[in-house]
Amino acid sequence: MAVKSRIVKGFISLPYNWSMGPTTTRFYEEFKNKRIMGTRCEKCNRVLIPARSFCSGCFVETTNWVQVSDEGTIRTWVLINFSYEGQPMAPPYITGIIDLDGADVGLPHFVGGVELDDLETVAKKVRIGGRVKAVWKENREGHILDIDYFKPIN
Ligand SMILES: [Zn+2]
């Protein structure tokens, strides 16, 4: 006789503190002045964002800081229309990977400033390869959400 498995529902809450270290701390502090800073690898020449203290491809320390644009191109995007635990905002909303001008690593963030009622209109305004610009909060605290979202600009 086969034994049927039981499922027990539970909930885990795990508050934590995370030390960002000096490189990530500076990356976010620069947001207060609307600057997105990366670090350049001297070996492969890639500009990494968020700024990193070493290149994960070359395993060399990165000490050269460079400012990248707050404009870029949408590499990919998705419209989130369902709820899940820990969600950053109530759906619907769009997240995407933004290839900022001057950076060689995509930045995951929100794409916004677009009415989400009509999917055909969304697909016309938010598209892979489309240009976007950061919409900064007026009061910035040195946090990834100092950028409200990236707005399509073409
Ligand atoms: Zn490298």
Q: Contact 37/22 with Cβ under 8 angstroms?
A: no
Q: What is the pLDDT of residue 86?
A: 81
Work out how many domains the chain is built from and give that number.
Answer: 1
The residues whose Cβ lies within 5 A of ligand 1, an ion, are 41, 43-44, 55, 57-58
28-63 pLDDT tens trace: 999 999 999 999 999 999 999 999 999 999 999 999
Ligand 1 centroid distance, CA of 106 (Å): 15
Asked whether residue 56 is assigned to any structural domain, the reply reads yes
Q: What is the pLDDT of residue 154?
A: 75
Asked whether residue 11 is assigned to any structural domain, the reply reads no
Q: What is the pLDDT of residue 28?
A: 97
The encoded tokens of residue 20 equal 């960002």
Instruction: Give the structural domain span for 125.
Output: 21-152
Half-sphere exposure at residue 126, Cβ-oriented, CA atoms within 13 angstroms: 26
SS (H, E, C) 65-76: EEEECCEEEEEE
Q: What is the pLDDT of residue 12?
A: 87
Asked whether residue 13 is assigned to any structural domain, the reply reads no
Asked whether residue 69 is assigned to any structural domain, the reply reads yes
Asked whether residue 70 is assigned to any structural domain, the reply reads yes
Ligand 1 centroid distance, CA of 25 (Å): 21
Ligand 1 centroid distance, CA of 38 (Å): 13
Asked whether residue 91 is assigned to any structural domain, the reply reads yes
Asked whether residue 7 is assigned to any structural domain, the reply reads no
The model's pTM: 0.87
Q: Contact 135/119 with Cβ under 8 angstroms?
A: no
Low-confidence residues of the chain: pLDDT under 70: none
Q: What is the pLDDT of residue 127?
A: 95
Asked whether residue 72 is assigned to any structural domain, the reply reads yes
Q: In what order do the strands lie in the sheet with 47-48?
A: 47-48, 36-40, 64-68
